[in-house]
Structure 1
Amino acid sequence: MQRLTLEHLNQMVGVEYILLHAQEPILFIIRKQQRQSPAQVIPLADYYIIAGVIYQAPDLGSVINSRVLTAVHGIQSAFDEAMSYCRYHPSKGYWWHFKDHEEQDKVKPKAKRKEEPSSIFQRQRVDALLVDLRQKFPPKFVQQKSGEKPVPVDQTKKEAEPIPETVKSEEKETTKNVQQTVTTKGPPEKRMRLQ
């Protein structure tokens, strides 16, 4: 069988693969066919190779089946949706009941929930935590003089007067007031722990 010409292959019957199209570096199309005589062949399948990956081309029946199934599924879902709105009563007959009114009623309570995102206890607790953090880590301000570069507070403290104690005492009083209001309100497990 070796060293025979291509004409001898055309004389044989059976399954064979032929190269239909070749675009050398990327695309090759191969056909699997049943040869019954030198002039009569029946195509069985087509394959294409793109960038080294082999794919089997779908036949016409599977393409039509897929397209019809997609169209029928869309129509079926439309009929199912229409049937969900249809109502029947012996005295009234058939009528349509749309859910627009129910959806609008559901939207209104959600808007009310957004108006109050936290309780009074939560707000007081957050305020107390922020005051506590401010005491532990006081902010460092940068003082600017006109026409000069910004100077950190540490350098200006040496030159300037000490900060009056009245501001610090007011802050301590406000933190004590916040802590007292937090401890008096709310359940015991959520009360702020004193250090």
Structure 2
Amino acid sequence: MNKHPLPSQPYDLVPSRVVVLDRDGVINADSEDYIKSLAEWLPYPRSIEAIARLSRHGWTVAVATNQSGVARGYFDEATLQRMHDDLRERVSTAGGRIAHIAYCPHGPDDGCECRKPKAGLLDQIQHALNLESLQGAWMVGDSQRDLDAGIARGCHPVLVRTGKGKKTEARGGLEQARIFDDLATFADYLVEN
């Protein structure tokens, strides 16, 4: 049972109070072999509490995740849904809420509009949250394509050093991005500032 009830739309929903998170490498450990099952979906130690803390302090949290493992046949959408249900349940148990999860099930050569670095997932989130734009929201990722998708919609880009983040940082070209060790450190920054 959720000991920290939240309103369905916390506070006045404005883009500057929206945080969009990539999933693999930001919320949970990533794998070159893909996260193919609920057993392989392993959140970082402080990421669930970080999401809950943001929720409790008035941020609306959404997730935008490329999941080409579906197109590649490594797992199906029902398995992906189980992972996302588990994520939502863990965050709820910690006293938070995820407002929307947008995912791209397509492969890199499918020509879709939702696969990051394209901004289709952010457009889905904007629509789901009933916002005119995501200008001024926060886009948190561990890869350049995450940041590029956010920048395309006017989000503040944030790189975390978990997942592929350290490699992304080493490649450079991140002048626009704020960089944090992990999601929890970023959450601390938002809440304290």
Instruction: Tell whether the structures are fold-level matches, with TM greater than 0.5.
Output: no
In proportion to residue count, which structure has more strand? 1
Structure possessing the higher radius of gyration over alpha carbons? 1
Normalised to the residue count of structure 1, the TM-score between the two structures is 0.18
State the TM-score, normalizing by the size of structure 2.
0.18
Relative to total residues, which structure has the larger helix share, 1 or 2? Answer: 1
Comparing both chains, which one has the higher relative contact order based on Cα–Cα distances under 8 Å and sequence gaps of 6 or more?
2
